[in-house]
Amino acid sequence: MFPTIDKNETFPARELAVGEFWREHDIYHKSLAAREGAPPFVFYEGPPTANGMPHPGHCLTRAIKDLFPRYKIMRGYRCERKAGWDTHGLPVEVEVCKELGIHSKEEIEAYGVEPFIHKCQQSVWRYMQEWRRLTERIGFWVDLDQAYVTYHQSYVESVWWSLKTLFDRGLLYRGHKIVWWWAQGGTALSSGEVGQGYREVADPSVYVKFPLMDDQGVDVGVSFLVWTTTPWTLPSNQFIAINPDLHYCNVFDEETKETLIIASDLVPAIESKIKRPLKIVNELDSDRLVGSRYRPPFDCYYDADSPSEWRVVAAEFVTTDSGSGIVHQAPAFGEVDYDVLVREQTKNPGKSTPKLINAVAPNGTFTEEGPDYCRGRWVKDCDKDIIRDLKSRGLLFHQEQYLHDYPFCWRAEEDPLIQYPRESWFIRTTEYKDQMLANNAKINWLPDHIKDGRFGKFLESNVDWALSRERYWGTPLPIWVCEETGKMEAVGSYEELIAKPQAAGIEVWEEAKAQSPDLPDDLRIHKPYIDSVTYESPYAKGARMRRVTEVIDCWYDSGAMPFAQWGYRGQESGAVKERFESQFPADFISEALDQTRGWFYSQLAISTLMFGKDESIESSLSPVPCPPYPHPFKNCIVLGLMLGEDGQKMSKSKRNYREPNEIFDRYGADALRWYLFANQPPWTSIRYSEDAIKDSIPEFLLRLWNVYSFFTIYANIDEFDPSVELKVDEADGSHKKENSERPAQMSTDTLSQAPSYRPIPERSELDRWILSDLNAACATVVERMDAYDNFGACQQITRFVDSLSNWYVRRSRDRFWAKDKRSTDKLDAYWTLYECLLTTTKLIAPFVPFLAERLWQDLAVALFQGETSGQSVAESVHLCDFPEGEGSVVDQALSEQMDLVRLISSLGRQARSAAELKVRQPLSKVEVILADTTHQAWLEEHAAVIAEELNVKTVEFSDEPEKYVDHEVVPNFKLLGPKLGKLMPKVKGILAKQSGSELLANVRDNGQIDLVVDGQQIALTAEEVEFRIQAKPGWTSANDKGVVVVLATEITPELLAEGWIKDLIRVVQDQRKEIGCEFTDRIKVGVVTECTELRTAIQQFLERIKQETLAVEIVFEPLVGVTPMSTKIGDASIELYLRVSS
C-alpha cells in the first residue's frame, strides 16, 4: 500500500518533516559518502556576513548554490560544500559603534580597542541563527559545522602566508596614495565603499587669476584663469596644468582692463558666464606656455627658487568640457594631481625635488601652515572665507554654484569625503593585469557579457589594490618594521612570530585570557594583542621589530578562501595540501552582480598573483604547480539583483518585501525555489513578487502532487503494489538481484524484474508516448543543466508534467477505472505512471528537494520498508543517480503525432466554443484537413481518441479539402531569401495572387512551380514554398499550424438524447460526492421527471449510466427516506434521488 494522503497537510508542513528526516539520517553526508572516490565537482561558498538579517535576495543566492551541487552529485560527482562566514571589516565595526553610540576613531580609542574588538567578535554572530535557519530551511545543503571563518587563527595565518609570499616577491609595497578619506572617521574608504555614497551636491565653482611671471619672477600683467571647485585646496597649490594639444589665447576684459589666458574653445562659455564679451588679443603657443612661472594665490609654501613648482605643466587630462582649460593642481588632494607631482619628482631628482604640499591635517582641518583664518577649521567650512579673501585681493574673476556628484561616507551620510594623501599598503596587481585578463578570458561567465563587459572592462582599468585599512577589526597586516632602520619583514604565522629572537609581548594576550577565560583563542592574532608582540631587529643592534598598525581590506580575506578555508600555508605535504589541491580550482561559484568588484575580483586577483603562470617567479615561491587556466573558478553564474515589490531596492523600512521565514511558512521553500529557478534566467534582475511565488504551487507543485495523489488513490484501490509485484517467486527459483551493490533506485532495470512489467514496446501508444516524452525531457534537462541553464531545464520539466497531467492521466483515466484489476492494459498503465512519477521525482530533486524527497519516500521507500523481498531501496532521492533519458525509448514520430492529436482536440474545442456547442453535447462528426499529410495515416488509426476528446461520432480526414479550406502559398523566406534577394517581395506578391489550389496541384504534378518575374524564369521547388491553409468562411471551424478542424453542427434527436444522458451522469456524480460516497461505493438512483423523452433516453442508455456512476439500480420513482435534489436536464426538470446501495 502507498501511504494515504492527508489532504489537510500543507506543503510547508511536509517540508519541515523532510528537513527533519535529512537531519536525522544525515543524508547530506551519506550523499557524499556514496560518491567516495568519484570525480570531484568543486564548489566554493562565497562567505556571507552574518552581521545582518537575510532577505529574499539572499534566498536566490543560496538556492542557486544548492541547485547545481545537488544536480552534480546525482550525476555522479563528489561535491563537498564547505560553508564559510565573512567576519571582518568596517560593517562590523560600524554595527558595534551604533550599539555603543559612538562614531569616530577617537571615540573607539577612548572606549578601548581591546573591549571594542571583543564586541566585534561577538557582533559577527548576531544573526547567525537566522542565517543557519534560512540555509537549512531553503534546503541549501552545505556543511555548516565545518564552516571556515575569516577571523579564525588558521584562516588569518593562511592569509598571512599569502601576504608574506607577495611581500617577498616585491608585490606588497608601501606607497603614498591619494585616497578617499573619511576625515571624521579617520580612515580611507575602498572604492566600493566610496561608490555607495555619491550624492548630488552644490559646491562653489571659482575662476581665480594666477598672475604670469617672467623668468625673474616679475609679474607681466597677464593672468592664467584657473578653475576649481575646491577652493580649500588652493593654499596647497603646487602646479597648474594645461593641455598642449589645446589652443590658448590672451583675452582682454574691457571691464576690468585685465588680460587673461584661457583655452580658446572656452572663451564663449566664459563670456556667457560673466555675461560680457571678452576680446581675443592673440593666440598663444601652448608648448611655450609649459614651464612658465606664475604666482600662486597663497604664499603659505611659495618658494621663488623652486625649479619646478608653481609652473605650468602639460597634462592630457585637461579638457575643454568645463572650466577654463587651465587646471589648478594640489597633489595632496587629487589622484591625477598626485601623479603630476610624481612625474615632476622624477624629472627633478635630488635636493630640488618638489615635496608634497599639504596644509590639511588628517582630521580634515587646516594646519598651522594654512592661512591664519582657516587654521583648525574643517576645510569645507573655509571655502567661503577663502573666496572672500581672494575677492578682496582682486584674484577672484568669477564665482558660481556647481552641481555635481560628490562622495559622502556611506555610513555617516553627512560626512563628505575628501581626497587625501595617506601612507598605504598596496598589492601590485597592475603587474599581473595581462595574466588576470588571460585568466578571465577562459572563465565561463553566465551571462557571458560579464566577461568582456563589466568584469573585463574593470580588469582593463586595473589599479594597484589598496590593501591596508587604518581600522581595528580585521586581519592584521603581518609586516614588522625595524624601529631603527625602517627595514621590514613579513611574518607568515603566529608560530613563526613567537619563535623570532627575543620575541616579547605575548603575555599581553595571556593575561587577558587568564582574566577572561572565555575569550576565543583566535583573538590572540588580532589587534590589540598582536600589536604588542615585538622581536629583536636583525637590522640594527638593540632595536625592536614592531608591527605596522594597519589591518587589511576584508575583500582580501574572502578572496583568499580557496586556500585559506583549509588553512593552507604552502605545506609541502600532508592533509591540508591534499585538501587544497583537490579542491582547486572551483568548478562552480555563484554570487550576485554586486560581487563583480568584490569577491569575483578578489579571488581572481589573489589566485592569479599567487598561482598564476609567471616565469619570473622562482619555483620555490610559487607554492602549487600552476593550475591550468581558468582559476580559481571555471564557471560563474552572476545573479541579478532582487528588487523590492515596488521596484526599489529592498529596504527594511519600506517593507517592500517579506521576511524569508514568512515566505517559507506560507508557501514553502520549494515554491520559492521553483519561482527562482523556473521563471527567468538567474541573471535577470527581478522584483520580489509574492504572487509569483504563490503561483508556483498550483502551476507546478500541486499539479505534480495531484498526479501523484491520483496514482496512489487508484493503485491502492486496485492493490497495485510494486513491492509485491517485484517479490521474487521462491518456487520459481529465479532469484534476480541487481548487479550493483548500491541500493535500488527503482529505475527501469529494477522495475522490469517484475513479472507484470511488460517491455515498453509492447505497451499501448499512450504509454509509449509518455515514456518517450519522459526520456526526451530527461535528456534535455541534463543537457541544459550541464550548460548551467536552470531556466531551460525547468521549462522542460514543466512541459513534461503538463503532458503527464493534462494528457496522459486524463486520457488514461478509464484504464485505471477498468474492472479487471489484473488486466494487462491496467497493469501497463500503472507501471507506466509509476515509472513516470519515480523518474520525475529524481528529475526535480535538485530543484524542489523537499517535494522530491516526500514523493520518493511515499512512492519507493515506504513500500519496501520491512519487506523481505531482498530489495533495498535508496534511502533518499538525493542518493539516486540523475535520470539521463534512455534514447531507445524516445520516439520522435510518436511525439509529433501525439502533438497533432492534442492540437486537433484543441482546435475542435475552439470551434465548439465559437459555435456555443458544449463538449457534453455529442456531435456527428468532425473533418480534419492537414496541410502536411505525413502523419495522416497514423491519425486515421487514432481517430477514436479525437472522437472521444471532441465527443463526436466520427472523425474524417477530408479528401476534398478545397471544400473547406483556401490554400495560401507563401515563399519559404529562409531558403529563398539568399537565392532571390531583391526579387523576394515580387515573388511573394505573385504567389499570393495565384490560386493556391492550382499551385499545389502544380507542385504535386511537376514537383515545382514555374514563375516569370521581371522577365526572369524562376522555378520554386516544393521545399521553397510553404502551403498554408485557412478555413473557408461558413463552416464551424478552427485552424492553426497547418491544421483545420471543421465541425458538423447538426444535432439529431439521438445526439440530443445522448447529450442529456451525459448531463445526467454528471449530475449523479456531483450528487455522489455531495452525499459523501467513497470512490468504490455502489449506489441506487431514482429519477422523477415528467419528460417522457428523457425517460426513454435513460432506458436506452441504462447500462452506460449504471457503469459510469457505479449504480446498481435506476428507478423512475422517489427513493424512500432520501432527500431529492432538483435540477434540469436539457429543458426537463428532474428530481434526483440517490443513496448508497446496501
Partner RNA sequence: GGGCGCAUAGCUCAGUUGGUUAGAGCGCAGCCCUGAUAAGGCUGAGGUCCCAAGUUCGAGUCUUGGUGCGCCCA
Which residues belong to the active site?
A: 47, 86, 555, 595, 599, 649, 652
Distance CA 1085, CA 1090 (A): 17
Contact flags string 377-416 toward RNA, x per CB under 7 A? ----------------------------x-----------
Among 464, 496, 690, 695, binds RNA (CB under 7 A): 695
Phi, psi of 130 (to 5 degrees): -60, -40
Q: How far is the CB of 999 from RNA (least distance, A)?
A: 16
Q: Considering the rule CB under 7 A, would residue 122 count as an interface residue with RNA?
A: no
Stretch that binds RNA, among 110-118, 142-150, 837-845, 1067-1075 (CB under 7 A): 1067-1075
Which residue has cell 529574499? 56
The cell numbers describing 510, all together, are 595571556
**Among residue numbers 423 through 462, which ones bind RNA (CB under 7 A)?**
449-450, 453-454, 457-458, 461
The 10 Å Cβ neighbour count of residue 96 is 26
Reduced 3-state DSSP string for 702-734 = HHHHHHHHHHHHHHHHCCCCHHHHCCCCCCCCC
Q: Considering the rule CB under 7 A, would residue 687 count as an interface residue with RNA?
A: yes
Q: How far is the CB of 594 from RNA (least distance, A)?
A: 5
- Residue closer to RNA by CB (options 19, 354) is 19
What radius of gyration, in Å, describes the C-alpha atoms of the chain? Answer: 41
Stretch that binds RNA, among 201-209, 271-279, 802-810, 1091-1099 (CB under 7 A): 802-810
Distance CA 27, CA 974 (A): 53
Q: Considering the rule CB under 7 A, would residue 906 count as an interface residue with RNA?
A: yes
- Residue closer to RNA by CB (options 373, 1079) is 1079
967 Cα distance to chain centroid: 48
- Residue closer to RNA by CB (options 160, 601) is 601
Q: How far is the CB of 1096 from RNA (least distance, A)?
A: 21
Q: How far is the CB of 498 from RNA (least distance, A)?
A: 38
How far lies 377's CA from each of 18, 519, 705, in Å? 65, 42, 71
Q: How far is the CB of 1080 from RNA (least distance, A)?
A: 7
Stretch that binds RNA, among 302-310, 345-353, 387-395, 703-711 (CB under 7 A): 703-711
Q: How far is the CB of 119 from RNA (least distance, A)?
A: 28
Q: Considering the rule CB under 7 A, would residue 920 count as an interface residue with RNA?
A: yes
**Among residue numbers 5 through 24, which ones bind RNA (CB under 7 A)?**
7, 9-11
- Residue closer to RNA by CB (options 279, 979) is 979
**Among residue numbers 510 through 549, which ones bind RNA (CB under 7 A)?**
none
Phi, psi of 1057 (to 5 degrees): -60, -40
Q: Considering the rule CB under 7 A, would residue 498 count as an interface residue with RNA?
A: no
Among 147, 713, 724, 1051, binds RNA (CB under 7 A): 713
Stretch that binds RNA, among 491-499, 689-697, 750-758, 886-894 (CB under 7 A): 689-697
Residue closest to 1097 by CA, chosen among 1051, 1058, 1138, 1055: 1058
**Strand 923-930 with 952-957, pairing:** parallel
**Among residue numbers 196 through 235, which ones bind RNA (CB under 7 A)?**
196, 198
Among 1028, 1032, 1095, 1104, binds RNA (CB under 7 A): 1028
CA angle 746, 16, 87 (to 5 degrees): 110
Contact flags string 811-840 toward RNA, x per CB under 7 A? --x---x-----------------------
Stretch that binds RNA, among 54-62, 496-504, 732-740, 912-920 (CB under 7 A): 912-920
DSSP class per residue in 522-579: GGGGSTTGGGG-BEE-SSSTT-EEEE-S-EE-HHHHHHTHHHHTTT-S--SSSHHHHH
Q: Considering the rule CB under 7 A, would residue 698 count as an interface residue with RNA?
A: yes
Q: Do 1009 and 1065 touch, CB atoms closer than 8 A?
A: no
- Residue closer to RNA by CB (options 758, 909) is 909
Stretch that binds RNA, among 68-76, 551-559, 871-879, 913-921 (CB under 7 A): 913-921
Residue closest to 770 by CA, chosen among 719, 827, 718, 834: 834
Whether the bond between 421 and the residue before it is cis, its omega within 30 degrees of 0, is no
Beta bridge partners of residue 378, listed in sequence order: 365
How far lies 102's CA from each of 108, 110, 116, 528, in Å? 7, 10, 11, 19
CA angle 214, 219, 222 (to 5 degrees): 95
**Among residue numbers 341 through 380, which ones bind RNA (CB under 7 A)?**
none
The cell numbers describing 633, all together, are 573558478
- The single-letter DSSP state of residue 9 is -
Q: How far is the CB of 907 from RNA (least distance, A)?
A: 7
Q: Considering the rule CB under 7 A, would residue 697 count as an interface residue with RNA?
A: yes
- Residue closer to RNA by CB (options 358, 1109) is 1109
Distance between first and last Cα of the chain: 27
Q: Which amino acid makes up residue 845?
A: A
Contact flags string 139-178 toward RNA, x per CB under 7 A? ----------------------------------------
* DSSP element (H, E) containing 862: helix 862-864
Distance CA 166, CA 159 (A): 11
Q: Do 429 and 609 touch, CB atoms closer than 8 A?
A: yes
**Among residue numbers 965 through 1024, which ones bind RNA (CB under 7 A)?**
970, 973-974, 977-978, 981-982, 984-985, 988
Among 1040, 1054, 1113, 1117, binds RNA (CB under 7 A): 1040
Among 23, 29, 742, 810, binds RNA (CB under 7 A): 810
Q: Considering the rule CB under 7 A, would residue 1109 count as an interface residue with RNA?
A: yes
Q: How far is the CB of 337 from RNA (least distance, A)?
A: 12
Q: Considering the rule CB under 7 A, would residue 658 count as an interface residue with RNA?
A: no
Stretch that binds RNA, among 127-135, 844-852, 911-919, 1047-1055 (CB under 7 A): 911-919
- Residue closer to RNA by CB (options 514, 818) is 818
CA angle 407, 409, 415 (to 5 degrees): 90
Q: How many residues interact with RNA (rule CB under 7 A)?
A: 88
Q: Considering the rule CB under 7 A, would residue 686 count as an interface residue with RNA?
A: yes
Among 651, 806, 823, 1021, binds RNA (CB under 7 A): 806
Distance CA 1051, CA 1073 (A): 31
Using CA atoms of 267, 270, 275, 279 in order, give the dihedral in degrees to the nearest 10: -30
The cell numbers describing 436, all together, are 588576470
Contact flags string 568-607 toward RNA, x per CB under 7 A? -------------------------xx-xx----------
Q: How far is the CB of 849 from RNA (least distance, A)?
A: 17
Q: Considering the rule CB under 7 A, would residue 1102 count as an interface residue with RNA?
A: no
Distance CA 425, CA 173 (A): 6
Q: Considering the rule CB under 7 A, would residue 703 count as an interface residue with RNA?
A: yes
Beta bridge partners of residue 534, listed in sequence order: 504
Q: How far is the CB of 191 from RNA (least distance, A)?
A: 4
Among 396, 693, 715, 1065, binds RNA (CB under 7 A): 1065
The cell numbers describing 419, all together, are 581626497
Q: How far is the CB of 913 from RNA (least distance, A)?
A: 5
**Among residue numbers 182 through 201, which ones bind RNA (CB under 7 A)?**
191-192, 194-196, 198
Q: Considering the rule CB under 7 A, would residue 1033 count as an interface residue with RNA?
A: no
Q: Do 1029 and 966 touch, CB atoms closer than 8 A?
A: yes
Sign of the Cα torsion 841, 842, 843, 846 reads: positive
